[in-house]
Every structure is written in C-alpha cells, then in structure tokens.
A and B are shown apart, each in its own frame.
Chain A
Amino acid sequence: MISLTSYAFVSMMLFSIGVIGVIARRNIFVIYMSIEMMLNGINLFLVTFARYHFNMDPQVITVMVIAIAAAEAAIFLSVIILLYRSRKSLDTDIFTTLTQGEKS
C-alpha cells in the first residue's frame, strides 16, 4: 500500500517542479508545460484526498480543472502563435512592452 504521504509528496514535487519551471525557464512552451504540471500536481493532490476521505467533491473540482485546462490550452497556444508572429521568438524576456521602469 502506497502511503498517503507518498501521494502528497509526489503531487508537491510536481507542483514545485512546475513553479521552478515557470520561474527559471525562458522558453514560453516550457513555461506552459510547467503550468500544466502545477495543475496536475494539484489534481493529484485533490484526487488522493478524495479517495482517502471517500468524498467525491474534490474529484468534481479535478474534472473541472482538467476541462478548464483544456480550454486554457487552446487560448494559450493561440496566444503563443501570435507572440511568435510578432517577435519571431519564444523567449519570454523579450516581451517587455508593458514595462514601466527602465528596461531591464
């Protein structure tokens, strides 16, 4: 029997890797994938506790999250295409048009 702690640990690992991916990586696709990874980390966490407490509510939320993530993927990918068309690049650091201070 795999303990609850292991499930929680894996889901937190997934979330943390996602966070680090968002912060540390520059490629916009990798950032997108990291965001998905964070979502899935949360999903795993919810499902685990749903099973543990025999409560179906978290599973409803999980299905909801997956549906929204799918919709989000459609928008995200189209935005990435537009960004790529305007700058011919996938590096997030060059999309600084909305900056206020000196360009960094």
Chain B
Amino acid sequence: MKHASFRAALNTAVSVAVIGALVYALLPNYWVFLITAVFIVGIALQSLGLVAGRTGMISLCQMSFAGVGAWVTGYLNVSGFPGGLPVWIVIGGLAAVPVGIAIGLPALRLRGINLAIVTLGFAAAFDTVLATITFPGQTTFTQVARPMFFESDRGFFIFIVLVYGIIAVGLEFLNRSRLGASWLAVRHSERAAAANGISVPMAKLSAFAISAFIAGISGGLLAGYLGTLVSENFNMMQSLSLFAVATMAGAHFTLGAILGGVLITLFPELLRRLNLPQDVGNVFFALGAVQALSTGETISETWARLGRKLLPGRKASTTATGGALPAAELHPAGTTLEVKGLTVRYGNVVALNDVSLVVPSRTVVGLIGPNGAGKSTMVDAIAGFLPRYSGEVTLNGRSVDALSATRRAQAGIRRTWQTTRIAPELRVGEYVRLAAGNISDGELAAVLDWLECPPPQTLISTVDAGTRRLLDVAGVVAARPPVILLDEPAAGQSYAEALKLGERIAEIPEKFGCAVLLIEHDMDLVRRACSSITVLDFGQVIATGAPQTVLGLPIVQKAYMGIEIEEAAA
C-alpha cells in the first residue's frame, strides 16, 4: 500500500506543479494575481473537505479558523516576529488548532448536525469579536510583509503554489494512512469504527485539529496576499459559501479543491465582466450544493466517473498472492471470554435474563436461538455497545465492564455486524489494514485469499454485500484478537458458500489463535464449525453442550420449530 500513497502523492505534486508553471508562464500579471487567490481558497477548501467530505461533519466556521490564522499572522507581522511569512502562517495555523478542538469537543459523541449548529454559532460569535478587536495593523494600514524572494505578485504566486503543493501532498499521505481510513470509517458508521478499535472522539478531534490548522494557514496566506485585512474577509457568509462550494465541488479531492477555488475566485470576475451583480455567485453555489446533495455526487466525482469512462485505464493489478497467513497469536490458555449473570432490560422488556456463557481459548462456541432470543443484544453487551447491563463480562479473567466499546476492541473483543458497515470509499486492503493494524502485504493477500475475498486494490463500493460480510470476517481474523464475535456471518451467502465459510471458521482458532463466539441460523454451518453450543430463547439459556446433543434436545427443537416433538410425530 505504501507505493500507492507515493504514486498518488507524486501525481498530485506533478499536477500542481504543471498547473502552476502553465499559469506562471502563459498568463499576464493580472490573471496570475487572480489565480493566486484560487490556490489560497483551494487550501481553505481542502481544510473543509477534510472535515465535511471525509469525516462527514458539517463545519460552517471554516473562515473563522482562517481568521484566527490571519489575525495571528498579522500580529506577528506588526510585532516583527523573526522568520517572516512562512513561519507566521505555521504559527497562525497552530493557533487555530486549539480553537478547532474546542469547537469539535461538544460534538464528539453526537452526530453531525450538532456540530453544524456549534460551528455556525462560533462563526457568528467570531464575527462580532473580530469586528471589535480588528486586525493588528488594520488601523495603521501596516502591510503584512511577503517572504523574501517572493515579494512580487508573480513571486508570491510561486510561494502559494508551493504551500498548496506541500499541503496537498501531505493530505494524500494522510488520507491513505490508517488515520485517514478511520475518518471515512467514522463518517460511514461510528459503531463499526469503534468495533475496529478506532477511538471515535480521537478520529473526529484529529480531523478537526488538522482541518483548523490548514484553514489557519490559508488565512495567513490571505494576509500576505492582500496585505491588510478587514473582518469582512472572514465573516459568516464567507464560511457559508465556502461550505456550499465545498459541497458542490467535492473539496476532499485535490481536483475538487482547485475547482472550488476557481468557482469562488473567478466566478465573480466573470459576473463582473458580464455586468451582473457579483453576489449572484452565492445563489449559484447554493443551487449547485443542493443539486450535489440530491444526487449524492460532487462535480469532481462526476468528472472522475466520466474520465474513467473515456479513458479505460489500467486494470487493477492483482498483487502478489500466495504470501503466508500471519502467524497465530499465542493468547493465554484457559477461559478467554466469560459472561456471568448478564441481564439486559429495555424498559419493561427483559432482553437477556441472567445469561452465563464461557468461551474457552482457541475454540468455536455457537450461540443459537430463534429470532428475538437476544443473541445480537448479547453481542452488543459483550462488545460494549449497550449503555447499561447488569452482570459481568471478563476477558482472560479481567473484567471489561468499565471499558468503552473502543477499549474493548483494543483489548481484544472484536465483533462483526449483521449488516455490513464498511465505508464504501475504502479499498479492500485499506479496510483490512484499518481493522487489523500492522500486517504485511503478503499476509494481507493471504488472508484475503483464505476467505476468497477480492484483491486489496478493489474498491469496497464495487463489492457485493455478501462479500463485504466476508471482508468483515477477514478484518477481524487478520487482527488475531483473543476472541471474535461473529454475528451471522453466513447471512446472504449461498448454501455452498456457507458450508465453506463454516470450515474456515472452524479453522480460525488453529490458524489465528483466536476463540470465536459464532451466532448463526444455518445449522449445518454451526455443526461444522462449533465445538459447543449455547441456545438462547426469550433471553434465557435453555441448553448448553456439544452440538449433536444440544441440537437433539426436544426443548431446543421446540424453541426453533415452535412445536413439541410428539406433536410433530403425531
């Protein structure tokens, strides 16, 4: 995967350099000056794309972050801080980080809408504060000094393109890292992200902090570009139209950020030349954003799709397969997972009543029962997704009751979901890495082979639902935790596939060293995979023991078929 990030980064660097060189060589000063703004806005858009596009949080105060950066840059300029603009913008960006974190904090455990409200509130508040305190040097008309060698407008253009290139390349690496994948995972499903041991608050906060940093830099650059600033440069309408353009153009793509910069900077210029009022632009952006939201596709995605149609590029190369499976983990022997007296109530409904269960190390234990018996509730409770339950869950003898879902996943209780929750923007390899942590390319390919999953380069959105569930399994086994909870992994598989999956699941303890708690309706699969079975009905354990014995019990057959055996025989 490393070389994929390098290629993407190189692509980005070369395209930015080529565009910059063309503009510099071919266009007159006026246009070079204008296009400088395209790149500055592009940087602000990238910062917004990271929060809104990647992590799926609505931020309506991005220009306020830029304002913080610009204010600090102005202050350092007036106070004659050494280092010049390159140093000031970095300090300005850093100054925006704590602000970003403070704004992000209230929305950590809530979905995006609350963040939209907080950020809008911040933008409004920042407007008033900025209008009151004014920019340093605003009243004395002190120009922000441009860096040495880049003083002229053409020179400053080069400086801006350089900064843009550095940030774009940095983001390419970041987006392909585990952190970048965790942002997409959080956007798609916070529960699934937590089940993979990702700290959802950390993912959100890091996205917000980095985004504020980049926005702060763009503000500092704007200070160098315009020389003097007024608070209107960063008011709420600027943030809102930035949001609309980012939504419309797809600011989390390099192309989208530049395209958005072009729209914001050059569209008013076009309107001016047509003798139209320039604020018509905002109406256009609003409509464009609504259109993009209704189709679920941004302009850059549309272009990329059309581009792929026109240029049927290289086939995704199937990477070297045949690597060895990762070595089995040596987890402590004895009882891996123990559940004692687990009771879960939803209001008056008792979903689980005093359930106890033992999963010894390196075994597959089946948990079966009719629909509504409480099996999935049990998985939720063990994995830490229920707000409260009574009873005790221990992993290798240590209680995990006080741990959050993320901590339990990190401690080694891993689960899969009945419905797939993998972010469709990820690639197969990226997902397995996200779930498994550090494994080599060969091991990754081997795990995918073992479960007959598609190759690592495949985009998840092109994979069918049944196979995505296998990927879920591939991710958790590759992580080799002490215990895996599989929630109906064979749902949606054909009979033959289910049988094969059963064999694979039976091999998990030996090949990967994990214990498995398997929830399944497919009895043939259960017989094949499990060494013991626990049966739940109406939230209570009605039988436990070896598969053949338990499945033959009349009480179990009654629970499943709803009839007494004698009646059936009669």
A, B bound: no
B interface residues (Cβ-Cβ under 8 A, vs A): none
A interface residues (Cβ-Cβ under 8 A, vs B): none
